[in-house]
């Protein structure tokens, strides 16, 4: 399958590292101009330098803004007034005793993991609809469906993101704009390495720590390993393409078979 995103402009939030950086690389390799987003100008420029090595000849635009705030969303729009492909990847996660999660922490997870995406969809969907083409993708998680006992607040926010996606897909009906969620399974990133070592013996080598984590905390995985960020990016690039024009309102899984369901 030949995917050509030439002439399209994408914004990937939280794209200086991890899954976001892999998605940005994949979109850029397919020909899109990609907005790289982070809160620190230095980190954004550093990330763009790395990404240019991974996608030679690609065009990247720095989007330095804290998109979890209304002001940050406005700054993102100033940097990229027109966006054809919006990937709401930014999110926070951590483990916590469910009975110790404060009201403020519940609100913070909703603000960052849900409202930040809602604001950007509100900002860019009208333009996409007016042009008759657009792709919006919200990066969700297996935790939206299989709520971990140690991450209830995170799971709640990702479940809400699935609902937001379905609702905006209905808003975009008939416009040529598709809106989908990508349910990412347990993925290998620097942040996840820290998370894993918060749950298993820190003296273990990484390969063994990963195996212990998957066996004890994510035994449902059918691939029995963490997913690599590039594997998430492959799905995002496809959904951003013309070939995915009939896929909308969906929650598509890249979870290694973690969610025990025969439905997507």
Report the DSSP beta bridge partners of residue 61: 35
Mean pLDDT of 12-25: 98
Residue ranges covered by each domain of the chain: 9-187+228-253, 192-226
CA distance 160 to 154: 10
What residue has token string 């705030």? 69
What residue has token string 């690039």? 237
The predicted structure's pLDDT at residue 189: 87
Mean pLDDT of 130-150: 96
Radius of gyration of the chain from its Cα atoms, rounded to whole angstroms: 18
Angle 13-149-164 from CA coordinates, rounded to 5°: 40
The domain made up of 9-187+228-253 is a member of CATH 3.40.50.720: yes
Annotation marks residue 109 as catalytic: no
The predicted structure's pLDDT at residue 1: 85
**pTM: predicted TM-score of the whole model, two decimal places:** 0.94
Do 140 and 87 form a contact (C-beta atoms < 8 A)? no
DSSP letter assigned to residue 17: S
DSSP letter assigned to residue 240: T
Nearest CA among 39, 16, 34, 49 for reference residue 189: 16
* Cα distances (Å, whole numbers) of residue 8 to 49, 178, 209: 21, 15, 41
Nearest CA among 263, 127, 103 for reference residue 183: 263
- pLDDT tens per residue, range 88-136: 999 999 989 999 999 999 999 999 999 999 999 999 999 999 999 999 9
Burial bucket for residue 92 (CB in 10 Å: 0-12, 13-18, 19+): middle
The average confidence (pLDDT) of the chain is 96
Mean pLDDT of 147-165: 97
- pLDDT tens per residue, range 56-97: 999 999 999 999 999 999 999 999 999 999 999 999 999 899
Identify the residue with better confidence: 263 or 175.
175
Q: Is the pLDDT of residue 231 over 80?
A: yes
Q: Catalytic pick from 154, 217, 238, 258?
A: 154
How many alpha carbons fall within 13 Å on the CB side of residue 171?
19
Banded pLDDT at 54 (limits 50, 70, 90): very high
Banded pLDDT at 218 (limits 50, 70, 90): confident
Percentage above 90 pLDDT, the chain: 94
Q: Is the pLDDT of residue 264 over 80?
A: no
* Cα distances (Å, whole numbers) of residue 65 to 68, 122, 153, 209: 9, 17, 25, 35
Q: Is the pLDDT of residue 179 over 90?
A: yes
């Amino acid at each position: 399958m030949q995917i050509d995103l030439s002439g399209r402009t994408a914004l990937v939030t939280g794209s200086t590292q991890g899954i976001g950086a892999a998605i940005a690389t994949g979109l850029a390799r397919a020909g899109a101009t990609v907005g790289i987003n982070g809160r620190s100008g230095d980190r954004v420029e550093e990330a763009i330098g790395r990404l240019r090595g991974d996608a030679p000849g690609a065009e990247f635009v720095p989007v330095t803004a804290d998109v979890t705030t209304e002001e940050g969303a406005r700054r993102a729009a100033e940097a990229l007034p027109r966006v054809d492909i919006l990937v709401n990847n930014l999110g926070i996660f951590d483990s916590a005793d469910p009975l110790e999660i404060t009201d403020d922490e519940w609100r913070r997870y909703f603000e960052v993991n849900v409202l930040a995406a809602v604001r950007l969809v509100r900002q860019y969907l009208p333009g996409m609809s007016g042009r008759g083409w657009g792709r919006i993708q919200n990066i969700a998680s297996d935790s939206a469906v299989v709520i971990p006992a140690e991450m209830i607040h995170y799971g709640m926010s990702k479940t809400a993101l699935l609902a937001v996606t379905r609702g905006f897909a209905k808003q975009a009906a008939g416009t040529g704009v598709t809106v989908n969620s990508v349910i990412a399974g347990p993925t290998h990133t620097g942040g996840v390495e820290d998370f894993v070592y918060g749950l298993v013996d820190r003296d273990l080598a990484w390969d063994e720590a990963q195996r212990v984590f998957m066996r004890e905390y994510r035994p449902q995985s059918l691939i029995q390993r963490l997913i690599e960020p590039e594997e998430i990016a492959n799905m995002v690039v496809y959904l951003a393409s013309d070939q995915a024009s009939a896929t909308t309102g969906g929650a598509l899984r890249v979870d290694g078979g973690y969610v025990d369901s025969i439905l997507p």
